[in-house]
Structure 1
Amino acid sequence: MSAVSDRLPVFPWDKLEPFKATAAAHPGGIVDLSVGTPVDPVPQLIQKALVAAADSPGYPTVWGTPELRDALVAWCERRLGARDFTHRNVLPVVGSKELVAWLPVQLGLGPGDKVAYPRLAYPTYEVGARLARADHVAYDDPLELDPAGLKLLWLNSPSNPTGRVLSQQELTRIVAWAREHGILVFADECYLELGWEADPVSVLHPEVCGGSYEGIVAVHSLSKRSNLAGYRAAFLAGDSAVLGDLLQIRKHGGMMPSAPTQAAAVAALSDDTHVHEQRERYAARRQALRDALLGQGFRIEHSEAGLYLWATRDEPCWDTVAHLADLGILVTPGDFYGPAGNTFVRVALTVTDERVQAATHRLAPR
């Protein structure tokens, strides 16, 4: 038997270690703009909900508490424009990365089945296909894909890494095409509440899906909008038949968010004030870093939403990584997200205001 790890690509982040060491040696310390992990405090109302649920000796439910399902349904209707949602249209998961990595396996895909994802994309889409031994294909335009054997189509809007947002018209055409060919659509919308120069739309919006959720599922996370990456709290919303099957599989697999996490998620989903406050923090950091990069001669493409700036100096991405590491700044090389990113770097906004100030000072023209 070959090891499962043999099916997987080399973990890309290991290649950044030498550049991280260079950046860390800077007299002012490293400014780590590579990983998009939240650094701001978890809002107090969420912490209080977690503590209040700390005495939870029994097993949690895979489907989530009725209170969590109520909160998920209400949020989807309030924030995504979904209509006529019920508990059967939602399913909590243990963080979105777990879901992305294991979805093809849970859908029963295998050799001969195809999984498609954007040419510039979060690497875990490909990892999920590899874990299932399914075929995988990257696309520029999903409507140009050969539908034969295509079982799962990943959309990602707003995009990680580019920040590109698919318009309502684009989403509508893609959903109609996928339904015509019997292709299941999973839309990764984890950055949907972080639109800057565009207003992202969900595939669950009635003007996109026509009021039917058949064949479409949206993936959402509380990691970025509520600073809950450490809680592992995410959820699916959409086609009740697909979610019903996944629920049964996940029950057998014991894939359940902890009871305190479920209580915290209810608090997070029921409050929009902390989301607005966090958006304002990110907006200020984005403007400062964007101005500094432009002043250094970078060009920024897309980046109209999300937590990253997709930047280039029109040179090999590792040359840019090395240049910035010498300034004590660590960024992610664009080729982590596919060969099409080999002249770009991804710059995360998830650092403190003090570290943003340090970065802008180092990037200032001399």
Structure 2
Amino acid sequence: MVKISKRIAQVAESPTLATSAKVKELKAQGHDIISLTVGEPDFETPKQIRDAAIEAISQNKVNHYTPAAGILPLRQAIVDYYQKYEGLDYQINQVIVTEGAKNALYSLFQVLLDEGDEVMILAPYWVSYTEQVKLAGGVNVIIEAEMENQFKVTVDELEKHRTDKTVAIVLNSPNNPTGSIYSKEELTAIGNWAVEHDIVIVADEIYAKLCYNGNEAVSIASLSEEIKKQTIIINGVSKTYAMTGWRIGYALGNKEVIGKMIDLANHSTSNPAGPSQYAALAALEGEQDFVEKMRQTYEKRLSHFFPLLESIPGFRVLKPQGAFYVFAHVKEAAEQTGYQSVSDFSLAMIEEAKVAVVSGDGFGFPDYVRISYTQDEETLTEAVNRIKAFIEKKTKE
């Protein structure tokens, strides 16, 4: 029997990818499944970005290894982007380009954490944070935020969980799965608290450009020089430019931390894929009209979809401010349809209602489901109609 390391054995399967795989399997069998599971835009990557990758290949720019930290023009473009849109000054040696933002997070935890170091994870949380902390030998300290508080926590709540082993806090705003956004005042309070106690702020800003109805995501690093020094920004091109498959993320911050992340890349991934780097360069340096068009589309879909979700019996929802998810409390719906858990309820919806959502277990809130609205309005309406019919049928049984 092949031995599996304890380190890997403790890692849970990603519920989002597992549900997505099940949907693909059922679709391959001919089932008409509406999938509201996947965290990626349904837009095509803009043509000028695709063309930049093709041009890089045609001009033989990508035949060899690039620097482990990414090509210099792309790193400079990331520096310029944060200067232009956030007023933040970074140097090239404070930037690393990675294989998606997920890899940036993974590498960062490997660099920051020793065995037993604690990381504050604000729940609901993105499914991979906790698993990546485990893989780095860290300990997850889960701090739950309630719907009644817009799924946000206060400094007082953070302080209750702080110990002498606290190394970092992960702050995801706009949040996956809730869509909540921390205000400038809330971020300032958290930032100053982190500075006071020398706690690294891991600022996941991957959804920063997807904000709706007048809401705006502020980069916590922009609030003061002291907070900036305490912050490592994680971002990428996946959500903003519909480039999830291109796998380009990046991290900005303390040059020593970034330097160690580069050392890790030298011995693990070598470098991100060349064509993808040139595509990302075109995305950051090119016209940004596409970003606003996509944002407006999702804002319109949210305005259409949210009232429909509110009308589903047993669903309790909070209107998101950003990202492209609704995090719905559906425990009542599960119970009235005869299911002991939301996980069972979600599975039954896939099999019987032919609508797929992601159970909240992996996000730390098992009474909820994450619903993605990266589908057109007609499809979203049909999904709600199917869910309602499913609940009505099961309630009568």
User: Is the structural similarity TM-score above 0.5?
Assistant: yes
State the 1:144 CA deviation. Answer: 2.9
The 3-state SS of whatever aligns with 1:260 is helix
The answer for the alignment partner of 2:280 in structure 1 is 265
The answer to whether residue 363 in structure 2 is matched with residue 337 in structure 1 is yes
Ranges in structure 2 where 5+ consecutive residues have no aligned partner: 145-156, 333-340, 393-397
The answer for the alignment partner of 1:191 in structure 2 is 207
Ranges in structure 1 where 5+ consecutive residues have no aligned partner: none
The answer to whether residue 104 in structure 2 is matched with residue 99 in structure 1 is yes
Q: Contact 1:23–1:330 (CA<8 Å) still a contact in 2?
A: no
The answer for the alignment partner of 2:55 in structure 1 is 52
Q: Contact 1:19–1:322 (CA<8 Å) still a contact in 2?
A: no
Q: Contact 1:288–1:360 (CA<8 Å) still a contact in 2?
A: no
CA distance in 2: counterparts of 1:133 and 1:103, whole angstroms: 13
The 3-state SS of whatever aligns with 2:267 is helix
CA distance in 2: counterparts of 1:164 and 1:227, whole angstroms: 21
The answer for the alignment partner of 2:130 in structure 1 is 126
The 3-state SS of whatever aligns with 1:213 is helix
State the 1:164 CA deviation. Answer: 1.3
CA distance in 1: counterparts of 2:288 and 2:237, whole angstroms: 12
Cα deviations by residue, 1:335-362 (Å, 9 ceiling, x for unpaired): 2201xx2222111122355533532554
Which of 101, 115, 121 aligns to 2:119? It is: 115
CA distance in 1: counterparts of 2:295 and 2:243, whole angstroms: 14
Cα deviations by residue, 1:314-338 (Å, 9 ceiling, x for unpaired): 4252365256433321101112201
- Give the counterpart letter for 2:239 in structure 1: K
Cα deviations by residue, 1:205-257 (Å, 9 ceiling, x for unpaired): 1xx23466212111112111111110001111222332223223322334421
The 3-state SS of whatever aligns with 2:84 is helix
CA distance in 2: counterparts of 1:244 and 1:5, whole angstroms: 26
CA distance in 2: counterparts of 1:99 and 1:178, whole angstroms: 21
Which shows bigger deviation, 355-364 or 194-203? 355-364
Q: Contact 2:119–2:169 (CA<8 Å) still a contact in 1?
A: yes
The answer for the alignment partner of 1:238 in structure 2 is 253
Q: Contact 1:34–1:348 (CA<8 Å) still a contact in 2?
A: yes
State the 1:184 CA deviation. Answer: 1.3
Which structure shows the higher helix fraction?
Answer: 2
The runs of at least 4 aligned residues of structure 1 exceeding 4 Å deviation read 13-28, 363-366
Which shows bigger deviation, 116-125 or 94-103? 94-103
The 3-state SS of whatever aligns with 1:53 is helix
The answer to whether residue 139 in structure 2 is matched with residue 139 in structure 1 is no
Q: Contact 2:70–2:97 (CA<8 Å) still a contact in 1?
A: yes
Q: Contact 2:104–2:251 (CA<8 Å) still a contact in 1?
A: no
The answer for the alignment partner of 1:358 in structure 2 is 382
Structure with more relative contact order (C-alpha pairs < 8 Å, separation 6 or more): 1
Which shows bigger deviation, 147-156 or 136-145? 136-145
The 3-state SS of whatever aligns with 1:342 is coil
The answer to whether residue 219 in structure 2 is matched with residue 202 in structure 1 is yes
Q: Contact 1:185–1:216 (CA<8 Å) still a contact in 2?
A: yes
CA distance in 2: counterparts of 1:362 and 1:182, whole angstroms: 50
The answer to whether residue 343 in structure 2 is matched with residue 318 in structure 1 is yes
CA distance in 2: counterparts of 1:117 and 1:244, whole angstroms: 25
CA distance in 1: counterparts of 2:258 and 2:105, whole angstroms: 14
Q: Contact 1:24–1:328 (CA<8 Å) still a contact in 2?
A: no
- Percent identical pairs in the alignment equals 26
CA distance in 2: counterparts of 1:286 and 1:32, whole angstroms: 16
Number of residues paired by the alignment?
A: 360
- Give the counterpart letter for 1:81 in structure 2: G
- Give the counterpart letter for 1:106 in structure 2: V
The 3-state SS of whatever aligns with 2:69 is coil
Cα deviations by residue, 1:79-137 (Å, 9 ceiling, x for unpaired): 2232x322133221110112223432233x23221122112111211111211222221
* Cα pair distance change 1:21/1:38, threshold 3 Å: closer
The two structures have a TM-score, normalised by structure 2, of 0.82
